[in-house]
Chains A and B, each alone.
Chain A
Amino acid sequence: MAEFLFAAAAIVLVLTGLALVRMLWGPSPADRMMAAQLLGTGGGAIAILVAIASGMTAVLDIALTLALLAAFAAVALTLGEPGSKRRGGGE
Chain B
Amino acid sequence: MSLVVDLFMVLLILTSAVWTVLARDRRDAVIAFIVLGLQLSLVWMRLMAVDVALTEAAVGGGATGLVLLRACARLQPVEAEGRLPGLRAQIAAGLLCAGVGVALAAVILAPAAPAPSLAPAVAAHMDEVGLKNPVTVVLLAYRALDTLLEKVVLVLGLIGVWALAPDLFWGGRPASLRAASPSGTLTFLARVLPPVGVLIGVYLVWNGADHPGGTFQGGTVLAAMWLLVMMAGLGELPETRALRLRRLVAVGPALFIAVGLAGFWMADGFLSYPPEYAKPIIVAVEVALALSIAVILGLMVAGPAAKEPER
Task: Encode B202-228 as 1/0 by CB contact (under 8 A) with A.
Answer: 001001000111000100010010001
Give the Cβ gap from B188 to chain A, nearest Cβ, in Å: 11
B27 touches A73 (CB 8 A): no
Residue of A10, A17, A71, A78 contacting most chain B CB atoms (<10 Å): A78
Chain A residues, Cβ within 8 Å of B1: 10
CA distance A31 to B51 in the complex (A): 31
Neighbour of B180 across the interface among A23, A36, A76, A82, CB < 8 A: A82
A79 touches B69 (CB 8 A): yes
B16 touches A20 (CB 8 A): yes
B169 interface residue (CB < 8 Å to A): no
Chain B residues, Cβ within 8 Å of A61: 50, 54, 204, 207, 211-213
A36 touches B34 (CB 8 A): yes
A36 touches B35 (CB 8 A): yes
Chain A residues, Cβ within 8 Å of B39: 39
A23 touches B204 (CB 8 A): no
A77 touches B69 (CB 8 A): yes
B45 touches A79 (CB 8 A): no
B212 touches A36 (CB 8 A): no
Give the Cβ gap from B179 to chain A, nearest Cβ, in Å: 5
We find that the number of chain A residues with CB closer than 8 angstroms to chain B is 45
Instruction: Closest A residue to B56 by CB, please name it.
Output: A62
CA distance A20 to B1 in the complex (A): 22
Q: Which residues of B contact A (CB under 8 A)?
A: 1, 5, 8-9, 11-12, 15-16, 19, 25, 27-28, 31-32, 34-35, 38-39, 41-42, 45, 48, 50, 53-54, 57-58, 61-62, 65-66, 69-70, 72-73, 76, 80, 177, 179-181, 186, 189, 193, 196-197, 200, 204, 207, 211-213, 217, 221, 224, 228, 231
Query: What are 30 A-to-B residue pairs whose CB atoms are below 8 Å?
Result: A20-B16, A23-B19, A24-B19, A32-B32, A33-B31, A35-B35, A39-B35, A39-B38, A43-B38, A46-B42, A46-B45, A56-B50, A58-B212, A62-B45, A62-B50, A65-B61, A66-B38, A68-B200, A69-B61, A69-B221, A71-B189, A72-B65, A72-B224, A73-B66, A73-B69, A75-B189, A76-B65, A78-B179, A81-B179, A87-B25
Closest 8 CB pairs of A and B: A69-B61, A80-B73, A76-B66, A65-B57, A58-B212, A32-B31, A76-B69, A73-B65
* Additional pairs, 12, CB under 8 Å, beyond known A76-B65, A76-B231: A13-B9, A24-B15, A29-B27, A32-B28, A36-B38, A39-B39, A43-B41, A43-B42, A62-B57, A69-B224, A79-B69, A80-B69
